[in-house]
């Protein structure tokens, strides 16, 4: 069942849900170890919050980011434990925003416990930056990048995520985002969706957080990736520790180029994407970016057995 043309991908904030990973915890020793390590590294029972809620506390950026990473790595470790060498190695890994940190763990660049503390800090810094410089985000469907460029120039909003050809997320001051949504609707957008986030992530309003995050990133030891890690900012492989550090720091303020990241992988020969985590958001986006590739989400042992049966 080895597929040398497979990429592993990891979701970002918004994919969290109360109860995610509970089945893995009950059925997989590697998953239990990951949840315990998460609790130990943060010094509080994150796993209890993941399994029991409340949802509003899990949605808090400082909690959701380490929670999503924990779920993804628990799923990855379970997949590897269930099928061992049969699971094969990924051709490359990639993650959406927060998921980029998870991809670094998967590629052996950074230890899980260190990554947990880093994303917890990242969430805290993003929250504080949002308090100091309030902002908003919105998803816009049905407009091209040229139209978005004009709207950005007119309103001052910034492109935060280019997810597919027709799904782009904007970020900026609240008044500017509201104005941009109105303009987008007037110019033919099929849908405008305000996002339930606490701040203007992936915009210049996060500069304060990026500066504070830099000290933590510079202090950590990064190993060479075991497989290529596709960066969010430029949609190209991160090959050195210095490139990775710069990517993580810049990532708070720059646009997530998810569409181009997927296209880079497809052009490199990837034919199958496996998303580790809950929600299946990236799986849905990948299928819209390129209908010729396969994409599936692994969030429990049943989905893992199903994938194993398909590729054997």
Q: Read off the pLDDT of residues 79-98 as tens digits, 9 standing for 90 and up.
A: 999 987 777 779 999 999 99
- The pLDDT mean for the chain works out to 94
Tell me: pLDDT of 2 over 70.
no
Residue that wins the pLDDT comparison between 309 and 52: 52
Q: Is-contact 157 172, C-beta < 8 A?
A: yes
Take residue 233 and report the two structure tokens written for it: 């900012």
pLDDT tier, 312 (very low <50, low <70, confident <90, very high otherwise): low
- To 10 degrees, what angle do helices 61-83 and 301-311 make? 50
Over range 115-132, report the average pLDDT: 96
Give dist(CA 181, CA 179) in Å, integer.
5
What is the CA angle 146-10-41, rounded to 5?
A: 130
pLDDT tier, 136 (very low <50, low <70, confident <90, very high otherwise): very high
Considering the domain delimited by 135-194, tell me its CATH architecture. Answer: 2-Layer Sandwich (3.30)
Active site residue 202: yes
H or E stretch covering 115: helix 112-132
Active site residue 303: no
Question: 215: which residues sit within 8 A by CB, 6+ positions away?
Answer: none
pLDDT of residue 1: 41
Residue span(s) of the chain under CATH 3.40.366.10 come to 6-131+203-311
- Tell me the fold of 6-131+203-311: Malonyl-Coenzyme A Acyl Carrier Protein; domain 2 (3.40.366)
Cis peptide before 54 (omega within 30 of 0): yes
Give dist(CA 127, CA 133) in Å, integer.
10
Rg of the chain over all Cα atoms, to the nearest angstrom: 19
pLDDT of residue 311: 64
Take residue 2 and report the two structure tokens written for it: 């080895």
Over range 110-114, report the average pLDDT: 97
Residue from 97, 171, 235, 261 carrying the catalytic annotation:
97
Please name which of 96, 81, 74 lies closest in space to residue 201, comparing C-alpha atoms.
96
pLDDT tier, 168 (very low <50, low <70, confident <90, very high otherwise): very high
Over range 112-128, report the average pLDDT: 97
Look up residue 225 and give its DSSP letter.
P
Please name which of 291, 244, 232, 297 lies closest in space to residue 266, comparing C-alpha atoms.
291
pLDDT of residue 309: 84
Over range 265-278, report the average pLDDT: 96
Residue span(s) of the chain under CATH 3.30.70.250 come to 135-194
Residue from 17, 28, 96, 202 carrying the catalytic annotation:
202
Q: Which residue has the tokens 């995050």?
A: 213
pLDDT tier, 194 (very low <50, low <70, confident <90, very high otherwise): very high
Give dist(CA 78, CA 22) in Å, integer.
13
Look up residue 98 and give its DSSP letter.
H
pLDDT of residue 4: 60
pLDDT of residue 196: 85
Phi-psi region of 202 (alpha: psi -120 to 50; beta: other; left: phi over 0): left
């Amino acid at each position: 069942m080895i597929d040398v043309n497979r990429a592993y991908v990891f979701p970002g904030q918004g994919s969290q849900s109360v109860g995610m990973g509970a089945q893995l915890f009950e059925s997989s020793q590697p998953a239990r170890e990951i949840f315990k390590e998460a609790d130990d590294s943060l010094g509080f029972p994150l796993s209890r919050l993941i399994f029991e809620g409340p949802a509003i506390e899990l949605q808090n950026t400082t909690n959701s980011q380490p929670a999503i990473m924990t779920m993804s790595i628990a799923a990855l470790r379970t997949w590897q434990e269930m099928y061992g060498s049969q699971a094969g190695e990924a051709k490359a890994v990639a993650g959406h925003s927060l998921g980029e940190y998870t991809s670094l763990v998967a590629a052996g660049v950074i230890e899980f416990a260190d990554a947990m503390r880093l994303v917890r800090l990242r969430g805290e810094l993003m929250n504080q930056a949002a308090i100091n410089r309030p902002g908003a985000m919105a998803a816009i469907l049905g407009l091209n990048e040229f139209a978005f460029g004009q709207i950005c120039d007119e309103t001052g909003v910034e492109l935060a995520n280019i997810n597919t050809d027709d799904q782009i997320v904007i970020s900026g001051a609240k008044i500017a985002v509201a104005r941009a949504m109105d303009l987008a609707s007037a110019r033919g957008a099929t849908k405008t969706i305000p996002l339930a986030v606490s701040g203007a992530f992936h915009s210049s309003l996060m500069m304060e957080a990026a500066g504070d995050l830099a000290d933590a990133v510079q202090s950590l030891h990064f190993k060479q990736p075991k497989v290529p890690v596709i960066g969010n900012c430029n949609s190209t492989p991160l090959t050195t520790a210095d490139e990775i550090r710069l990517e993580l720091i810049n990532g708070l303020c720059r646009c997530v180029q998810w569409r181009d990241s997927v296209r880079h992988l497809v052009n490199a020969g990837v034919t199958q994407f496996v998303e580790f985590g809950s929600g299946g958001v990236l799986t849905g986006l990948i299928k819209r970016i390129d209908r010729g590739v396969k994409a599936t989400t692994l969030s429990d042992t049943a989905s893992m057995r199903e994938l194993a049966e398909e590729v054997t």
